[in-house]
Structure 1
Amino acid sequence: MGRVEGRVAIVTGGAGGIGSAIGTVLCKEGASVLFVDADADALAGVADELRSAQADARFSTLVADVGEEASAARIVEAARAELGQIDTLVNCAGMRSYEPLAEARTETWNRILEVNLLSYAWLTQAAIGDLRASGRGSVINVSSTHAVNPRAGMGQYDVTKAGIVSMTKTLAFEEAKHGIRVNAVCPGLTFTPFHRKRAEAAGRTQADIDREAQGGCLMGRWADPMEMAYPVLWLASDEASYMTASVIMVDGGRFVL
């Protein structure tokens, strides 16, 4: 029997490196999963890979822009209709911005707040009835180590990730009486297709990429997306039944250096 057998989960950012890994491992451990992403082609690729690897996987996909408030109700309705009552919500959608704060445009602020922060609130609000009714509701928000360790040049992104941490703790306070656990995972250096494409565009070699991680954390390497997925799996399972309002840094010891 899988560690999350019988659960129904929504995973946003489900075609991304970390999101797809989370959805895949939840399926592997017995959950029914709705993968949500705005990239239709990438989402189709994730579905093909999952079908090939796990013929009995119970999942569905939905192309949606989580940065639009109206998408939240559509996502929840699709999950409920196709898979059943929702008891696990994994908010993992995200985008980046490289505008210095002194030059950041309002339109960029609006978009990154909608995708990285407001979508987490909208999805939670839309799913809250199911989460409360399930008796074992779990919300897992994917933030970033940069929520508490910001850097120059990505202030808008870091601000949204800090907001996720605050939202996680506040929601945990508010929903404990309904039996809902709310936690956050903060990934460190995680090598995803996004990072590979960005490195290739900049003309960087694999050796260059590896060197970045060697001096960047105690583990001396990039994480694989699955190394972010398994902490999420644990938080979704009964093994973490006493965990709420927690923010877990999965960073290979990056910020003790």
Structure 2
Amino acid sequence: MTGNLHMNIRILTFNIHKGVGWGRTSTLNKIHTHIQELHSDIIFLQEIRGSQFEAISSDIWPHLSYGKNAVYLTGHHGNAILSKFPILMSDNIDLTMRRYERRGLLHSIIRLEQSNLPLHLLCVHLGLSIRDQLKQLKKIVTYIQATISDQDPLVLGGDFNDWTGSATKPLVKELGLQEAFLDSHQAYARTFPAWAPLLKLDRIYFRGFQVSKAHRLVQHPWRPLSDHIALEVYLTLKNNDE
């Protein structure tokens, strides 16, 4: 994209581990409190129970979508997107490769103020094996190519479980996406386990933006809230009309 830079947007992604933190303690109320303190514009959540996502939402993010992945006797969990901007549509794409490991891609569309283009938001949780990840990413690439215009900005964030850094290469090669931490820090963010983060599992990919800031929420009180570290990035949208 070319043109002037004119709009900033803050994106948070967080695998909340069903609201369970260190020592198997419930952290949902604390997650709700500290997310509200951030005032991010868009929030991607993974491993959130169906009964939890409305509790985490608030007047700050009146618009939300939820994609159910795993269903069990006591309920279900999946991905959620919270937005300050109206959500025009949402779709949940099943990425499951194994019956006991349900995975999905939640796709929502919003329209930002001062922009004539839709912004595509994609929240994902991939499987644990590299073989499954490669299949899931192929499905994601095919889906994006078929449903999203090359001219439209997008943000794809979540828990990719790609600890080797190799499975996600098609996102760059075939879709031309950039990863926020790789772009700004020359390395993916270490996000797992939260108490001693070594593995680079969580990512925020984008198209049609520039990164102005990317950071891990490792300070108190964030670290004990989940087994993953939350990531927040500041993106600047390019004006494609000028």
When normalised by structure 1's length, the TM-score is 0.40
Q: Which structure shows the higher helix fraction? A: 1
- Greater RCO (CA < 8 Å, at least 6 residues apart): 2
TM-score (norm 2): 0.42
In terms of fraction of residues, the more strand-rich structure is 2
Structure showing greater radius of gyration is: 1
